[in-house]
Structure 1
Amino acid sequence: MPLDSLVHNPRNARQDLEGVEGLADTYEDAGVLQPCLVIPVQTFREAFPEDADKLPAQGHVVLAGNRRLAAARRAGLATLPVHLNPKLKTRLGILIAAATENIAREELKPFEELATIEELKAELGTYDAVAKKLGKTAGWVSQRRRLGNLEPELREALERRTPGMTIELARDLGKLKKRDEQLAAWKVEQERVARRADDPKAEKRPKAKKASRVPAQGGADGGGGAPLDDGAKSRRDACLLAIATGTGDLPRLSIIAAQVPVDPDEAVALAGQWLTEAAEGSSALDVDTLANEEGTDRQLAAALALALARCEIHLTRTSGADSAHARAYTHWLETHTDEQPAAAESAPTA
């Protein structure tokens, strides 16, 4: 379609069209490869009468591809490839189409995603319905909603990409209800970043990096503070990988874990360390928050970590003497990870 017949979506979730200059340079050389999603202006007017005065009388509104439209204009192109979807006529349908396109292409910033979720929630009524319409989990929606709880200083730090402020940290801070708690936690992270800046090689030392993959066990080392042997270290690396990737047959592992005598606090401590390493956060194990909208993804990761911790602590403590459970647990690891039993463990675990 001719560029002069296309207009930007007045409800576009993207507040800033960044990188238009660089995109325009590529268009001058290769043209536009990805079409924009458009609907007639009249259709948009009927769905959003409150925005009618922002649109011309005729033409088409770009629902997905507003940055492409801006870059095409900057590059001096005469036309733009588009996909015209005549089925998009309702307010809700238009909102969902624009949201899914932007989210799938990862074109939205964190607070733009939050604004999109809130807009859809106003139409659909519940956050569960929003997750379903977007093809996302309840946990995905819940994580983004936490950003709405951030104090203004922390919002600004995230938007400015202040060193140390990551999207993962921002979501964890958003779980803290009190302003003082959020600011105190952010101060601790800033101090950690400062220390790392003073010693930039500290996190690059091979020994330190290897140690971070096998969390300190806090008493789960077989008793008496004895160091873990190579077999236990290998298993625990495999456990961490399984948690980080969300792989494995959780029901089978849960049955095994439920039948081993392990100190609950010790299992929670080990599982929490693994969850922290896997970027899920040990708070996923907090019983007090299980009833809120933490989301099934984090809860599944927590359940997997806790089951693995129980099995691993029991095997480390008994050295495989409980052969039935040892066989079941090590078979699970071999099935769902790259873990292979050490030669010294072959007799009790075969």
Structure 2
Amino acid sequence: MAPKGGRANFASLVGAVGDNSPVDRKRTVSPKPVTTEPVDGQFLADVPVAELVANPRNPRDEVGDLSDLSTITDRQLQPGTAVSRAAWLKLWPEDEVEIGPAKYIVVNGNRRLAAAVKYGRPGLDVVVRDSIAVNKGEILWAATSENIDRRDFDVLEEAKAVELMVAEFGSADAAATKLGRSKGWVSQRRALLKLAPELQAALRAGDLAIRHARSLAKVPLEDQVAAWEAAQNPESDKSTADAGPADSQPNTPTKDDPDESAPIEPADKVVQALKKLSVDPAVLAAAVRKHYSNDEQRALIDALGLR
């Protein structure tokens, strides 16, 4: 080695590397221990899809149309949220067969995972967060909170998710607080699970509005379909539509009747509504039981002269 301040030739540099390096003789670097488990909150890029598995406790029944995620082959805008295999099996050891050899369970981002598989993306970006695997309720909340109010998350999937949260958190009030929703909203969603299968299918297909579904859920199960069909296919008042001039009843106002503008009695309004809906007596009775208290029901029986 050239003296301090002098010039070193190439040969001296070659001799100063490797085992002869003065730097290596001054300090010894201990190798860092290799960790097999990622740190909580760690971002992992392009985890092979073979090492990922969709959340087996996902409240969604279907991933839906994935065409909006077809660009995932070129870019993934947002990483998924995953839990390590070990953390998951501490909560649900019975899921071991279902998750297979996967290293990570995707809690949020199951549609992204499905799109990656469908469109041929070999890996997916995820953030591992075992901190949400402290209990089953937190896992359900993490999966549910991402999906609620999404356009492709149908209302029955939402209702099932809410019901699961009520079971895990112990009460509807606790579930409402966790979701940041009102108690009424939670109650309305849970009520949809009381609908007959035919009405649930109609709700999913968009043939039954949520506001009508909530009303039908209050009707006894065996009467729900009949009540819905009656509302969907109201029969016209044949006595009015088919009757000719000679069949017109004396007290029925006609187009030229001077009494046409006379106020309609409350009872007549109810009659018109019942005729329009063609309400079955059994459904009407069920509605009366739901709407009236016991005292009001007895008063109705007295008014009908049935005692």
Say yes or no: does 1:167 pair with 2:201. Answer: no
**Match of residue 103, structure 2, among 59, 67, 73:** 59
Query: What does residue 190 of structure 1 align with?
Result: 232
- Whichever residue aligns with residue 124 of structure 2, its letter is L
Q: 1:158 to 1:105 in 2, by over 3 A?
A: closer
TM-score when normalising by structure 2: 0.57
Are 1:179 and 2:231 matched, yes or no? no
Percent of aligned pairs sharing the same letter: 37
Q: 2:53, 2:102 within 8 Å by CA — same for their partners in 1?
A: no
- Please say if residues 114 and 145 of structure 1, whose CA atoms lie closer than 8 Å, have aligned partners that are also in contact: yes
- Please point out which of 134, 154, 161 is paired with 2:199: 154
What displacement does 1:287 show? 8.3
**In the alignment, what sits opposite 2:164?**
119
The alpha-carbon distance between structure 1 residues 178 and 8, as it changes in their structure 2 partners (threshold 3 A), is closer
User: 1:183–1:55: structure 2 CA closer, same or farther, 3 Å change rule?
Assistant: closer
Describe how 1:198-209 pairs up with structure 2 within 5 A: none
Contact 1:9 1:62 in 2 (8 A): yes
The partner residue of 2:176 within 111, 114, 131 is 131
Of 60, 71, 78, the residue aligned with 1:14 is: 60
Q: CA deviation at 1:138?
A: 0.6
Aligned residue type for 1:40? S
Structure 1 residue aligned with 2:132 = 88
CA 1:158–1:58 in 2, change beyond 3 Å: closer, same or farther?
A: closer
How far the C-alpha of 1:178 sits from its partner, in A, is 5.1
Measured in 1, the distance between the counterparts of 2:88 and 2:221 equals 42
Q: Tell me, which stretches of 5 or more residues in structure 2 are unaligned?
A: 1-46, 237-261, 267-286, 294-307
Count of matched residue pairs: 199
* Cα displacement (A) at 1:189: 3.1
Find the residue that maps to 1:16 and give its secondary structure. Answer: coil
8 Å CA contact 2:132–2:138 kept in 1: the answer is yes
Over 3 Å counting, the alpha-carbon distance change for 1:179 and 1:40 in structure 2 is same
| 8 Å contact from structure 1 (residues 35, 80) kept in 2 | yes
Paired residue type of 1:2: P
1:176-211: CA deviation from partner (whole Å, max 9, x where unpaired): 23532x23431233226x99xxxxxxxxxxxxxxxx
Give yes or no for the alignment of 1:39 onto 2:122.
no
Verify the 8 A CA contact 2:195 2:221 in the aligned structure 1: no
Task: Report deviation, 1:107.
Answer: 4.5
Q: Which is greater in Rg?
A: 2
Shift in Å, 1:172: 1.8
Q: Equivalent residue of 2:191, what SS?
A: helix
SS for the counterpart of 1:81 is: strand
| Number of the residue aligned with 1:204 | none
Deviation at 1:153, TM superposition (A): 2.0
The one-letter code sitting in structure 1 at the alignment partner of 2:161 is T
CA distance in 1, matches of 2:101, 2:50: 13
Partner of 1:229: none
Higher helix share: 1
Take 1:150 and 1:287, find their aligned partners in 2: how far apart are those partners?
18
Structure 1, unaligned stretches of length 5 or more? 196-223, 226-264, 266-282, 290-350
CA shift in 2, pair 1:178/1:52, >3 Å: closer
**Which consecutive segments of 4 or more residues in structure 1 shift more than 6 A?**
286-289
Q: CA RMSD in A?
A: 3.0
Q: Contact between 1:42 and 1:58, CA under 8 Å: does it hold in 2?
A: no
Distance 1:74 1:51 in 2: 24
What TM-score do you get using the length of structure 1 for normalisation? Answer: 0.51
Cα contact 1:2–1:79 (8 A) shared by 2: yes
Q: Alpha-carbon deviations, 1:37-58, whole Å to 9, x = none? A: 1111111111111212212345
* In 2, Cα distance between equivalents of 1:149 and 1:133: 23
* Alpha-carbon offset, residue 123 of structure 1: 1.5
